[in-house]
Structure 1
Amino acid sequence: MSDTADEPGRAAPGPRAAVAGGRTLLGHPLGLYTLFTTELWERFSYYGMRAILFYFLTDTVVNGGLGLDDASGAALVAVYGSAVYLVTVVGGWAADRVIGARRSVLWGGVVIAAGHVSLALPSAGTAYLGIVLVALGTGLLKPNVSSMVGELYSRDDPRRDSAFSIFYMGINIGSFTAPFLVQAAREVGGYHAGFSVAAVGMALALVAFVLGRRALHGAGDAVPNPLTPADRPQVVRTGLLVLLAVVAAGVVAWLVGAGGGGPLDVVIDALSYLALAAPVVMFLVMFRSPKVTAPERSRLTAYVPLFVAAALFWMIFEQASSTLSQYARDHTDLDVLGVTISPVLYQSVNPAAIILLAPVFAWLWVRLGDRPSTAVKFALGLALAASSFLFLAGASAVAGEGRSPWWVLVVVYVVQTLGELCLSPVGLAATTLLAPRAFRGQAMALWFLAPAAGQAVTAQLITVTEGVSRTAFFGGIGVVSLAVAGVMLALAPWVTRHVREGAESEADVAARS
């Protein structure tokens, strides 16, 4: 899945000591299975809700939807995904400085459950409230549950990678099964019944987490870097700056729309501007900081093109719940061997492909050793994502005013999954290794800003290209992204050279190239 926070959690920053103890199951502490079950059901609720969100937003009020036009609905889904990743920055900070990872996961889960319950109520007001609550809760929970897995093991524990593989499997089991069950409930009782299934999933996640607390043996209880009285003035200043940035983004969004857009348009634009500005500001702060040494600045320079490639990749990949959902509903022949399927079920293709292909890629990277380099893997991942959109553009052109065969979107999702397996597993590792030492704790936040920025671009593209043909939309994105992938491939030796120039040791060179 596109859970960039989860599999790379094996490289979660922070020198936290392992807290595992007590009984084991299949060689792993019982706490792993507590977190496995929690994340399985949390991802079930999240992807179940996301699978039907676009259809709910754009369906008619008579049919239980909110009646938005397709462009507004797709843009809202994209900016919702962007907001989730923006809030993870706050969620990670809250866990590290205020309440600890365990409480962040617990309260995040409570907020998510409240959001799903709000969505389950037949009211437009509670629906928008539910979307906001799910985004806030996910941002609080998402970056911290995987870091708790890391706390169960010492850094040199040989079971560590195996543990994250088990944990990541739970994510994909939850996200694979969710569209089937949520769609079944939707067919029986409408959209709100589908959201009710997501609410039940989140409730099960909370039950598993609370009942399994003892098995965690204190993992996530400690606050790694608690705030001190001396920190409070800086926190207040930072909070005011963030509030000012939010207000400024809203004002700019309103002015750009010349007041002609509605409140929803202003929200979409404001969140998009925030998501695009955040990584730029973070990079500028790092480059200008006196705490960053010349070798570290060399590594940071090498990271910039990797970040751009990652943002473009997620821009394409995360359209699964927006533009590709629309294509599945309106432009795909859903008859499969005489059986008509729901367009919602396409959301299960990616996790199914991950379950099947992840072991193959794990074996492949071991066989290839240190090659290809990180930069080449990023270029390959982006090229595959771009190719999926070029393929879809061609299929759309062939279909014309008709519908593409059902297998077209299956191919698109599988090709994107191949790209995900090239880029996502190495993304956070590259981030934590290339970030300056003074900003090592903020490396997770920087990686989260790549999908946030990518989905912000998607929201803006959907808005400004309204009325453009499907072929031109997918083809244009595919051509530009493929060109950037080519540039990334050409820059690969330059990126590797800057990494080597900034490496402190031969071990760093081997790890970072």
Structure 2
Amino acid sequence: MSQNNTDQFFKSTVLGHPAGLFVLFFTEMWERFSFYGMRSLLILFLTTSFTDGGWGWTRENASALFGSYVGLVYLSTMLGGYFADKVIGFRWAVVVGAVLMTLGHASMAVETEFSIYLGLVLLVFGNGFFKPNMTSIVSEMYKDRPEKKDGAYTLFYMGVNAGAFFGILLCGYLGEKVGWSYGFGLAGIFMFFGMLQFWLSQNIFGDIGLKPNKESKARAEALDTDKRNPFSPLQLAAIAFSSIVALLWLVNDPAAKISGGKVNIFSFLGDNGNSIAILSALIVFIVLLVYRFTQYSKITKEKLIAVTFFAFLTIFFWAIFEQSPNSLTIFASDYTDRVLVGNWSVIFLVVNSLITVLPLVIITWVLILLFKQTFKLYAIANIILSISFVIIWAIAIWMLVKDYYTAGLLALSDETLQTLKIDKVTVPLTEVPATWFSTLNSLFIISLAPLFSKWWESKYNPSANLKYGIGMGLLALGMACVAFGANGIEPGAKTASVSMIWLILVYLFHTMGELCISPVGLSYVSKLVPARMIAFMFGVWYLAVAIGMKGAGMFGENIDKIANEHGLSYFFWMLTIISILVALFSILMTPVIKKLMHGVR
């Protein structure tokens, strides 16, 4: 097969798309299962008391580690993307990433101090190799069919959200209800299955994603006819300085807090060494970025400024949105009434059964369609994929049946109840896991994405600035809901019983905000940035996301301090106000940014 013509992939299709897309769909699904499944448990595990199997950390230390971990995940994508482009190719990068993540989850399942830290390091590098290269394979597969690309990414995005949903639902359930190691371990098992089925099916991609050779590099250079503006040795040194200091800071920040200052790489800079180091790195990078902009034509420079503006807004979006696995999960665990009694318990169990089983039925149907097209050529890969789904069905059914037993809706003998360690109840009663609320994001995305897609394609499609303004406004509305719900919690209170409706509303509004901002941002990078600079500006974009992720951790670090002094509601009102200010700033800047974009919508 030749990579120059991708029409060949459409000779045998599933739902109108190449079978290879669905190989990627399931691989990405299991990767997102593992990533979101582990992430949903991390803060809870770290802050749960020793007697309940956790580490008994303060929320400040847990948030510091969480913020650095997620920030490093996004920074590592630049390293993984570089190695894939220049050295090993997309396919090997995906496999290397999957192996590292499998080992990372296995390490975390051991639950010793060393194994947890080792697991996080392996997951950071694994995500870096895996994350940027799956979408690259999709893009290459549709190179000669651009009109089909939007539909392909929509299907691919469904795989992402299906994986996130089941990862949070099942890993979260096992972690909270059975044991932390089961939740961490399950994430690794399905990452391993995803890696195996990808590796055994890789010939379905033809020449796409193979290791770069002289011929392929020469062809890529020939296609890029834009004038180049190479980095000077001094500029490369500035990038190296900023990158190394930022990486050291991300590691040092939680290490210094967790160790009580005993571990501090930047102690030689004085008491404020941590702040001095990261500010120095940031200033050097901003100076370099501004200088680079001056080296291009007026139109190119102004488009780059527009991209940087949106990247700046993105920092605030992710810093507040990513409270989901952080302060919002703590709120769900400690301050929300998650016990449902009587009819409400029955309603929840029925709804939870439907939202668990129906997506599994749909994805299993897609799996059967894929089997029909590929089983003869890739029998072992299909068998492995089917085994993974048999396991996922078994765990899902076990979870639902156990919940019905626990609620007292299925009759069991006293001996069986004692064996299952379930107390006998006379009224239906269900305790909703704290991690369950995070699944709502994926459910709302799958439900609402088609509506937002239609909106963007209509004559009422808002401008870029207005989309960001609406997104940040919805983010503010979500935070206002939880702030209002937390209004009666006294300063210093460690527990409360706030209604679950407030958290459900948070995830509804935050998901709508995400649909306004997340898919739109990367689209503007590809539209506004010249081909020769796309890699550098994607690096800037992922840097902004990484800063936002670390910012989410830094916000979470202060939840106890603020809650003890002013009350928990005050913390969420602060995030609401920040969101409103950013929304207004985005809308007010519309005329300026519209001019800088030079007609790009």
Q: TM-score, normalised by structure 2?
A: 0.73
- 2:27 — aligned with what? 38
The residue aligned with 2:451 is: 360
Cα distance, 1:380 vs. partner? 1.0
1:397 alignment counterpart: 487
Q: Does 1:330 align with 2:334?
A: yes
Change (3 A) 1:335 1:62: closer
Q: One-letter code of the match for 1:320?
A: S
Aligned position for 1:5 = none
1:379 deviation in Å?
1.2
Identity of aligned residues (%): 30
Which residue number in structure 2 is paired with residue 301 of structure 1? 305
Q: 1:53 to 1:18 in 2, by over 3 A?
A: farther
Matched, 1:425 2:425: no
275-284 or 105-114: bigger deviation: 275-284
The more displaced of 154-163 and 305-314 is 154-163
Q: Secondary structure at the match of 1:128?
A: helix
> Is the CA contact 1:303–1:431 (under 8 Å) kept in the aligned structure 2?
yes
Question: Which residue of 411, 414, 421 corresponds with 2:505?
Answer: 411
Query: Contact 2:61/2:254 (CA < 8 Å) preserved in 1?
Result: no
Tell me which residue corresponds to 2:56: 67
Q: Which residue of 2 aligns with 1:288?
A: 291
How does 1:138-287 map onto structure 2 within 5 Å? Answer: 138-154=127-143, 156-186=145-175, 189-223=178-212, 241=241, 244-245=244-245, 249=249, 260-263=260-263, 283-287=286-290
Q: Which residue of 1 aligns with 2:439?
A: 348
Is the counterpart of residue 384 in structure 1 residue 474 in structure 2? yes
Alignment of 1:137 with 2:126, yes or no, is yes
- CA distance in 1 between counterparts of 2:531 and 2:280 reads 23
Which sits farther off after the overlay, 453-462 or 103-112? 453-462
2:56 match: secondary structure: coil
Matching residue of 2:73: 84
The residue matched to 1:303 in structure 2 has which SS? helix
In structure 1, distance between residues paired with 2:312 and 2:440 = 26
- Superposition CA RMSD, Å: 3.4
Q: 1:329 to 1:225 in 2, by over 3 A?
A: farther
Give, in angstroms, the shift of residue 434 of structure 1. 2.6
- For the Cα contact (< 8 Å) 1:272–1:456, is it kept in 2? no
Can you list the C-alpha shifts for 1:22-75, whole angstroms capped at 9, x where unaligned? 532222212111101100011011111111111111122332222211221122
Equivalent residue for 1:473, pick from 571, 582, 587: 571
Aligned residue number for residue 488 of structure 1: 586
Deviation sequence 1:339-362 (CA, Å, 0-9, x none): 211001112000000010001111
Tell me if structure 2 keeps the 8 A contact 1:77–1:321. no
Corresponding residue of 1:115: 104
In structure 2, stretches of 5+ residues that fail to align are 222-229, 346-429
What SS class does the counterpart of residue 67 from structure 1 fall into? coil
30-39 or 291-300: bigger deviation:
291-300
1:21 aligned onto 2:8 = yes
1:104-137 Cα shifts (integer Å, max 9, x gaps): 1110111000000001113121011111111111
TM superposition shift of 1:188? 5.9
Cα deviation, residue 236, structure 1: 9.4
| 2: CA distance, partners of 1:65 / 1:266 | 30
Cα distance change on mapping 1:276 and 1:225 into 2, 3 Å: farther
In structure 2, how many angstroms separate the alpha carbons of the residues matched to 1:417 and 1:281? 35
The AA in structure 2 aligned to 1:430 is Y
User: Residues 292 and 437 of structure 1 are in contact (CA less than 8 Å); yes or no, is this contact kept in structure 2?
Assistant: no
**Structure 1: which amino acid aligns with 2:138?**
V
Matched-pair contact (CA < 8 Å) for 2:323–2:556: no
The code of the aligned residue for 1:388 comes to G
Q: How many residues align?
A: 484
Instruction: Please say if residues 80 and 135 of structure 1, whose CA atoms lie closer than 8 Å, have aligned partners that are also in contact.
Output: yes
Q: Is the 8 A contact 2:59 2:560 kept in 1?
A: no
